[in-house]
Amino acid sequence: MSILRRVTMAVAVSLVAFGALVPGAHAAPSSARPTPPQTRWAVNHSPARAVRSYWNPQRLAAARPAPVPARPGTAKIGGSPAGTPRTVHASRPAGTGEVRPDASEWVTVGRLFFHNPENGGDYVCTANVVTSNNHDVIATARHCVMDIDTGAWYTNFQFAPSYNKGSAPYGWWTWRSAGVRIDDTSPGGDNAFIVLNTGGNSGAHVQDAVGGSGIGFNWATNNYAHAIGIPASVDYAVWCEGTAVDSYNGGVHIPNCQGLSGGASGGPFIFNYQSDGSAVQTATFFGSWGSGTDGNSYFAYYRDAAYSVYNGAQNA
């Protein structure tokens, strides 16, 4: 049985562009650029200061958990991916010999804020810094980035690693682009990656500031795993653990993993939770699907299409 714990933090292919990020702003067409297959992208052309100014203390405090999309009425149990396994290893913060050993000490998991221009609402999810070529990529859930049913994109993404009850010890990073899977519109395809501007307290790439967790694609599914998220109900990171089980539509779940409630969406699902820095994220938290003993915690597993999004993000 998995046990929920608090994390102690050490500190279709199309392109959309966004103009001024203000309440009610909508996506506008932009000139096309090459994009990976099975993906969809949005690019932010507004200055970072527009995003930072939007998130005043009142909006930060009022933001609520992102709604979880409807689950299909029928679904089938999947299995391990058939594609070639890929692994990108964890990285240290720039200029240090420090290794981020395991999730209870990582500062890479943090709070993601965003605005939905369709309904004017402000929302929260969880995201995680993953190692990338450009040192700017965070992993989260697709439903924290856009509405796959309507095609509407969200805006004003702002991320704080090591977030804890309103505290952002490393500062805030704003977004410059985002990509999602479109090959699978079910919860099994609920993967997204956001590319951040330099920012934080020192104007650095986010990976240089806090390090990046490892990331894996097409890994075997039935391994012992840890899941991390920041529920809005407590506003700090918590985690649970257990042996992953194949679930609906190609995803996985951890049986009896309770407590990853609203606001935890987009949090990392991690294999190799070890003290040597070898932990690897292989899925993102979607939300509850099934009963408490049948996958109450459901994770969208990283397969070839997720790698296409990640690879596009890390080279943006």
- At 4-62, the pLDDT tens digits run 555 443 333 344 554 444 443 433 323 344 566 689 999 998 899 999 999 999 999 99
Q: What is the pLDDT of residue 36?
A: 66
Q: pLDDT confidence of 69, banded at 50, 70, 90? A: confident
**In this predicted model, which residue has the larger pLDDT, 180 or 16?**
180
Q: What is the pLDDT of residue 5?
A: 52
- At 100-141, the pLDDT tens digits run 444 434 689 999 999 999 999 999 999 999 999 999 999 999
DSSP code string of 256-289: T-----TT-TT-EEEE---TTS--EEEEEEEE--
Residues forming a β-bridge with 17: 28, 43
**In this predicted model, which residue has the larger pLDDT, 150 or 4?**
150
DSSP code string of 25-52: ---EE-------TTEEEEEE-S-HHHHH
Number of domains within the chain: 1
- At 275-284, the pLDDT tens digits run 666 789 999 9
> Does residue 190 surpass a pLDDT of 80?
yes
Tell me the one-letter amino acid at 123. Answer: Y
- List Cβ neighbours of 290 (8 Å cut-off, separation of 6 or more): 247, 248, 253, 296, 298
> Does residue 197 surpass a pLDDT of 50?
yes
Which of the residue ranges 111-115, 171-175, 298-302 would you say has the lowest mean pLDDT? 298-302
Contact 173, 203 (CB under 8 A): no
Q: Which of 70-79, 263-272, 277-286, 289-298 has the highest mean pLDDT?
A: 263-272
Give the mean model confidence (pLDDT) for residues 275-298: 75
Give the mean model confidence (pLDDT) for residues 187-198: 96
Q: What is the pLDDT of residue 29?
A: 29
Tell me the one-letter amino acid at 143. Answer: H
∠ CA 255-268-281 to the nearest 5 degrees? 100
Q: What is the pLDDT of residue 275?
A: 61
Count of other CB atoms within 10 angstroms of residue 114: 27
Whole domain around residue 189: which residue ranges?
Answer: 5-68+75-314
Which of the residue ranges 188-197, 241-250, 255-264, 288-297 would you say has the lowest mean pLDDT? 288-297
Mean pLDDT of the chain: 84
> Does residue 160 surpass a pLDDT of 70?
yes
Q: Which residue, among 97, 139, 91, has the nearest Cα to 277 in the 3D structure? A: 91
Dihedral sign of CA atoms 88, 92, 97, 103 in order? negative
With a pLDDT cut of 90, the percent of the chain lying above it is 61
Q: What is the CATH number of the domain that holds 111?
A: 2.40.10.120
Q: What is the pLDDT of residue 22?
A: 43
Cα separation, 310 vs 300, in Å, equals 14
Q: Phi and psi of 306, rounded to 5°?
A: -65, -40
> Does residue 257 surpass a pLDDT of 90?
no
Q: pLDDT confidence of 82, banded at 50, 70, 90? A: confident
Per 3-state DSSP, what percentage of the chain is helix, strand, and coil (rounded to 5)?
A: 10, 35, 55
> Does residue 293 surpass a pLDDT of 70?
no
**In this predicted model, which residue has the larger pLDDT, 256 or 242?**
242
Token output for 184 = 């699978």
- List Cβ neighbours of 291 (8 Å cut-off, separation of 6 or more): none
> Does residue 296 surpass a pLDDT of 80?
no
Q: pLDDT confidence of 256, banded at 50, 70, 90? A: confident
Q: Phi and psi of 300, rounded to 5°?
A: -80, 115
